[in-house]
């Protein structure tokens, strides 16, 4: 059985804003990106350590890339081996501007 998947309140809002922004110019691309991000997030249930650690962003942060966006997440417990109980999607942000990622 995989890890429990949790979304912090800001993460789905991030996804919706990205979807709406891209959809204004290209609804098909917005649908593809949404599906791709959702797919990658579901992979984390069975493969919670899929993304590399990014402690320079935040202690415990891990990242999956869906270019140019980053899926920022954390795992609990935050270990390099053993079972993971929870995967928490923290934010989905534009990876082209990492100067001010609000967690």
Residue 65 has pLDDT above 90, yes or no: yes
Exposure string for 3-39, b = 16+ CB within 10 A, e = fewer:
beeebbeebeebbeebbeebeeeeeeebeebbeebee
- Note the pLDDT of residue 44: 98
Residue 21 has pLDDT above 80, yes or no: yes
Q: Is the dihedral of CA 43, 48, 52, 55 positive or negative?
A: positive
- Note the pLDDT of residue 101: 64
**Token code pair at residue 100:** 């001010």
* Mean model confidence pLDDT for the chain: 93
Assign 3-class secondary structure to 23-89.
Answer: HHHCHHHHHHHHHHHHHHHHHHHHCCCCCCECCCCCCCCEEEEECCEEEEEEEECCCCCCCCCEEEE
Each domain of the chain, given as residue ranges in start order, spans 4-94
What fold characterizes domain 4-94?
A: YaeB-like fold (3.30.2310)
Residue 97 has pLDDT above 80, yes or no: no
Residue 94, strand partner residues: 69
- Note the pLDDT of residue 57: 84
């Amino acid at each position: 059985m995989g890890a429990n998947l949790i979304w912090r309140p800001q993460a789905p809002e991030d996804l919706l804003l990205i979807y709406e922004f891209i959809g204004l110019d290209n609804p098909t691309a917005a649908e593809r990106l949404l599906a791709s991000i959702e797919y990658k997030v579901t992979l984390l249930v069975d493969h919670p350590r899929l993304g590399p650690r990014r402690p320079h962003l935040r202690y415990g942060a891990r990242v999956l890339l869906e270019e140019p966006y980053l899926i920022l997440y954390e795992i609990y417990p935050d270990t390099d081996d053993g079972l993971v109980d929870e995967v928490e999607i923290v934010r989905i942000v534009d990876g082209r501007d990492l100067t001010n990622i609000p967690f």
